[in-house]
Amino acid sequence: MTVAGADRGFLLDVGRCTGCAACTLACSTENALGWGRSWRQIVTFNEERLPGVPAFHLSLACNHCNEAPCVPQCPARAISRDPDTGAVLIDGDTCIGCRYCAWVCPYDAPLFDEAASVMTKCTACHHRLTEGLPPACVEACPTDALRYGALEGAARVTGFPDTPAEPRIRFLGVDRVDSPPESTWRAFEGTWRADVSAGAHPAGSRPNPTISLRSEIPLWLFTSAAAALVGWVLAAAVGTVALHPGPFIALAAGALAVSTLHLGRKLRAWRAVTNVRRSRLSREVAGFGAFLTLATLAALWPGASGSVAQGAAAWHGTAHALLVAAGAAGLVALFFVDRVYDPVCPRRRLGLHSADAILTGPAFAAVLQGTGAVYAAFSTLKAVLYVHRHGPTGPRGGWWLGVLRVAALALPAPLWWLAPGAGSGWAYAAIGLFAAGELLDRAEFYEELRVRTPADEARRVLALRRAIKNPVDG
């Protein structure tokens, strides 16, 4: 399939761009984004002027990629390609404000509009393109470095993220920025490696979109509750743990309600399942919905009533089949939960993170049921992943956090030995301890998430160049 306007896009002459930021202001005014806000940003490579490394700027907005990840990943199908100009556009009337497009975009293009509570981004000024005018940023460029037209020139330049998205941007003048000026001042040679380690210079003209626990508390609570609910159903399906319909439905409803708090447009939450075929986020929501439906049906099924307290052993026929199906659906849902974070979770080993829901759900089931072997397997895996992730330095918050975390994984087992049998105070203590440890780890998980941006890429490449150029390191 050919993409509309695939042969047209932004052209940036990196030899001419001075990083003057006129483009960002023109964008701001043209699109009435509010003073100081812009869809376009300047990313500076080598702001700190490392010797031997050139310094230049990238003026970047949305690249309207031919394989734009935001289009398939939008759970509400709010992002589409304009058939005439090929511009990738967000429909503000459909967008639910979940911010997932910002997570999956390698170019840091989508921005949350606080006033409208939806995502917005560069439209390539498609309202101007259709009138035969260039985008406002292009018109405003005082050095004629930014253009819009037929794609020609280099697809890559140092510091620009290399992704399979087929961004519709090309770079001119790349040979102009492959070497810095020869300086007459070289006293720092051989000495500067030690100094630069501290220098974390802002490479972008706007702050990175950060994901933090503070900003994602609804997701933290929702994913933790999801793992707990699935664990509960698993314990009921294969063990003897009771599934009380009242508390289960209350907790499920609470989890769903909390999850919508994360949305800019809460009343449009239902749209999140309209893109199950392509969007990870839709799959998460749909998978969790299917799990809840099956589990609720099982809990309320007439055959189950009255015997629920005895657990799975007392379940019969359709009710039990529903319960097993719910457990299976739950595992699939947790798998989808974890996949949502793939683009922003940099710290997985062997595809797993110690706080992944797919590990927490079964482990919780084992805690509820008191199944030592299963618990040992999952808790050991979690502990190994945790320790491996942090290494000898321990978590950022302090070594005692690490001790707390591992203790919360290790101690539930001795607690059962102390007092076997469900329903005892020690069993509840084991559940509470486990849950606390999981909440702690999941909180760390959110602190570790990171949207990868062109500014990050510029910094990463510069760090490599530092290492290469360092005469001491050889």
Which residues sit at the interface with another protein, rule CB under 8 A? Answer: 15-16, 18-22, 24-26, 28-30, 35-38, 48-51, 54-56, 139-144, 176-177, 180-185, 187-188, 191-192, 194-196, 198-201, 205-206
Q: Which residues fall within 8 angstroms of residue 372, CB to CB, at 6 or more apart? A: 366, 413, 416
For residue 124, how far is the Cα from the chain centroid?
25
Q: Which is nearer to another protein, 29 or 130 (CB)?
A: 29
**Backbone conformation region of residue 49, classed left if phi is above 0, alpha if psi is from -120 to 50, else beta:** left
Q: How far is the CB of 44 from another protein (least distance, A)?
A: 10
> For residues 35 and 417, which CB has a smaller minimum distance to another protein in the complex?
35
Residue placing its CB nearer to another protein in the complex, 54 or 245: 54
**HSE, side-chain direction, 13 A CA sphere, residue 439:** 11
* Residue number with CB closer to another protein (58 or 367): 58
Distance from C-alpha of 321 to C-alpha of 295, rounded to nearest angstrom:
10
Least Å distance, CB 168 to another protein, is 23
In 3D space, the residue among 431, 312, 421, 287 whose CA is nearest the CA of residue 364 turns out to be 431
- CA 367 from centroid of its chain's CA atoms: 29
Shortest separation between residue 293's beta carbon and another protein, angstroms: 47
DSSP string for 400-429? HHHHHHHHHHHTHHHHHHHS-STTSHHHHH
Q: Looking at the DSSP assignment, which residues form a beta bridge with residue 450?
A: 210
Q: Are 92 and 65 in contact (CB under 8 A)?
A: no
Cα distance between residue 18 and residue 49, in whole Å? 14
Least CB distance to another protein at residue 11 (A): 15
The values of phi and psi at residue 81, to 5°, are -105, 130
Distance CA 357, CA 224 (A): 7
Which of residues 234 and 455 has its CB atom nearest to another protein in the complex? 455
- Helix (H) / strand (E) containing 112: strand 111-113
Nearer to another protein, 138 or 385 (CB): 138
Q: Smallest distance from the beta carbon of 178 to another protein, in angstroms?
A: 11
CB of residue 182 to another protein, shortest distance in Å: 5
Nearer to another protein, 19 or 330 (CB): 19
- Distance CA(418)–CA(425), nearest Å, equals 10
- Give the integer Cα–Cα distance in Å for 189 and 391: 33
> Closest approach of Cβ 56 to another protein, in Å?
7
Indicate the pairing of strand 88-90 with strand 79-81.
antiparallel
CB closer to another protein out of 326 and 462: 462
CA gap 244, 236 in Å, rounded: 10
Smallest separation, CB 235 to another protein (Å): 50
Q: At what angle do helices 217-238 and 425-448 cross, to 10 degrees?
A: 140
| 3-state class (DSSP) for residue 376 | helix
What is the smallest separation between the CB atom of 172 and another protein, expressed in angstroms?
11
Whichever of 208 and 240 has its CB closer to another protein, that residue is: 208
Least distance from C-beta 117 to another protein, angstroms? 21
Q: Residue 45: beta bridge partners?
A: 56
Residue 407 or 463 with smaller CB distance to another protein = 463
- In angstroms, how far apart are the furthest CA atoms of the chain? 88
* C-alpha to C-alpha distance for 442 and 436, rounded to whole angstroms: 10
Please identify, using beta-carbon distances, which residue of 41 and 63 lies nearer to another protein. 41
- Residue nearer to another protein on the CB measure, 141 or 340: 141
Please, which residues bridge with residue 43 across strands? 58, 204
> Phi then psi for 247, rounded to 5 degrees?
-60, -35
CA–centroid distance for 472 within its chain: 38
Smallest distance, another protein to C-beta of residue 146, A: 10
